Chains A and B, each alone.
Chain A
Amino acid sequence: MWFIKNAITRKNLMALTGLFLCFFLVIHLLGNLQLLLAPDKAQLQYNLYSDFLSNNILIKIISYVLYASILAHTIDSIYLTIKAKKASGSPYVRDRRNRASKWYARQMMLLGTIVFAFLVIHLKNFWFTYKFGILPADANGNKDLYGLVVNSFQDLWYVIFYSIAILALGFHLLHGFFSAFRSLGLYHPTYDKLVKSIGVLFALAITAGYVIIPFYIYLNL
Chain B
Amino acid sequence: MKIHLKIWRQKDQKAKGKLESYSLNEVDAKMSFLEMLDMLNLQLAKKGERPVEFDHDCREGICGQCGVMINGIAHGPLKKTTTCQLHMRSFKNGDTIYVEPFKSKAFPIIRDLKVDRSSFDEIIAAGGYISVNTGQAPEANSIPITHEEAESAFNSAACIGCGACVATCKNASAALFTSAKITQFANLPQGKKESKQRTVNMVNRMEELDFGHCTNTEACQVECPQDISVLNIARMNYEYNKAKLTK
Asked whether, in the complex, the Cβ of A192 is within 8 Å of the Cβ of B103, the reply is: no
In the complex, identify which listed stretch (B51-59, B84-92, B121-129, B204-212) lies at the interface while the others stay far away: B204-212
C-beta contact mask, A57-99 vs B, less than 8 Å → 1, else 0?
A: 0000000000000000000000010011111111111111101
Question: Which B residues lie within 8 Å of A86 (CB)?
Answer: 105, 210, 212
| A131, CB-defined interface residue at 8 Å | no
| A7, CB-defined interface residue at 8 Å | yes
Per a CB cutoff under 8 Å, which of B72, B213, B233, B242 touches A97? B72
A188 to B: closest C-beta gap in Å: 8
Question: Which B residues lie within 8 Å of A93 (CB)?
Answer: 6, 8, 19, 98, 100
Per a CB cutoff under 8 Å, which of A88, A96, A183, A185 touches B170? A88
- Chain B at the A interface: mostly helix, strand, loop or mixed? mixed
Asked whether, in the complex, the Cβ of B213 is within 8 Å of the Cβ of A11, the reply is: yes
Within B175-228, which residues are at the interface with A (CB < 8 Å)? Answer: 203-204, 207, 210-220, 222-223
- Chain A at the B interface: mostly helix, strand, loop or mixed? helix
Within B67-108, which residues are at the interface with A (CB < 8 Å)? Answer: 69, 71-74, 98, 100, 103-107
Asked whether, in the complex, the Cβ of A192 is within 8 Å of the Cβ of B217, the reply is: no
**What is the bound-complex CA distance between A91 and B232, given in angstroms?**
27
Asked whether, in the complex, the Cβ of A11 is within 8 Å of the Cβ of B237, the reply is: yes
Asked whether, in the complex, the Cβ of A91 is within 8 Å of the Cβ of B103, the reply is: yes
Asked whether, in the complex, the Cβ of B171 is within 8 Å of the Cβ of A87, the reply is: yes
| B238, CB-defined interface residue at 8 Å | yes
| A21, CB-defined interface residue at 8 Å | no
Asked whether, in the complex, the Cβ of A7 is within 8 Å of the Cβ of B219, the reply is: no
A173 to B: closest C-beta gap in Å: 13
Question: Which A residues lie within 8 Å of B159 (CB)?
Answer: none
Please name the residue on chain B nearest to A109 by beta carbon: B215
Asked whether, in the complex, the Cβ of B72 is within 8 Å of the Cβ of A94, the reply is: yes
C-beta contact mask, A181-214 vs B, less than 8 Å → 1, else 0?
A: 1111111010010000000000000000000000
Per a CB cutoff under 8 Å, which of A7, A89, A105, A182 touches B213? A7
Question: Which B residues lie within 8 Å of A91 (CB)?
Answer: 103
B57 to A: closest C-beta gap in Å: 24
Asked whether, in the complex, the Cβ of A187 is within 8 Å of the Cβ of B231, the reply is: yes
Please name the residue on chain A nearest to B199 by beta carbon: A8
| A100, CB-defined interface residue at 8 Å | yes
Please name the residue on chain B nearest to A93 by beta carbon: B19
Please name the residue on chain B nearest to A99 by beta carbon: B73
Asked whether, in the complex, the Cβ of B212 is within 8 Å of the Cβ of A83, the reply is: yes
Per a CB cutoff under 8 Å, which of B172, B210, B216, B223 touches A105? B216
**What is the bound-complex CA distance between A167 and B71, given in angstroms?**
33
**What is the bound-complex CA distance between A184 and B234, given in angstroms?**
7
Asked whether, in the complex, the Cβ of A6 is within 8 Å of the Cβ of B217, the reply is: no
**What is the bound-complex CA distance between A181 and B98, given in angstroms?**
38
| A12, CB-defined interface residue at 8 Å | yes
When A92-B69, A97-B73, A101-B222 are in contact, do A87 and B216 touch as well, CB less than 8 Å? no
Asked whether, in the complex, the Cβ of A96 is within 8 Å of the Cβ of B71, the reply is: yes
**What is the bound-complex CA distance between A185 and B168, given in angstroms?**
22
| B117, CB-defined interface residue at 8 Å | no
Asked whether, in the complex, the Cβ of A5 is within 8 Å of the Cβ of B207, the reply is: yes
Please name the residue on chain A nearest to B238 by beta carbon: A185
| B4, CB-defined interface residue at 8 Å | no
Q: Chain A interface (Cβ within 8 Å of chain B)?
A: 5-12, 80, 83-97, 99-102, 105-106, 108, 175, 178-179, 181-187, 189, 192
Closest 7 CB pairs of A and B: A185-B238, A84-B212, A96-B72, A84-B171, A100-B219, A7-B213, A187-B234
In the assembled complex, 5 residue pairs joining A and B whose CB atoms fall closer than 8 Å, in A order, are: A84-B212, A97-B72, A100-B222, A105-B218, A183-B234
Beyond the given pairs A185-B234, A187-B232, 17 more chain A to chain B contacts, judged by CB atoms under 8 angstroms and listed by A's residue number, are A5-B207, A6-B204, A83-B212, A84-B173, A84-B215, A92-B72, A93-B98, A96-B71, A99-B222, A105-B218, A106-B215, A179-B215, A183-B216, A184-B237, A185-B240, A189-B231, A192-B234
Q: Chain B interface (Cβ within 8 Å of chain A)?
A: 6, 8, 19, 69, 71-74, 98, 100, 103-107, 168-173, 203-204, 207, 210-220, 222-223, 230-242, 244
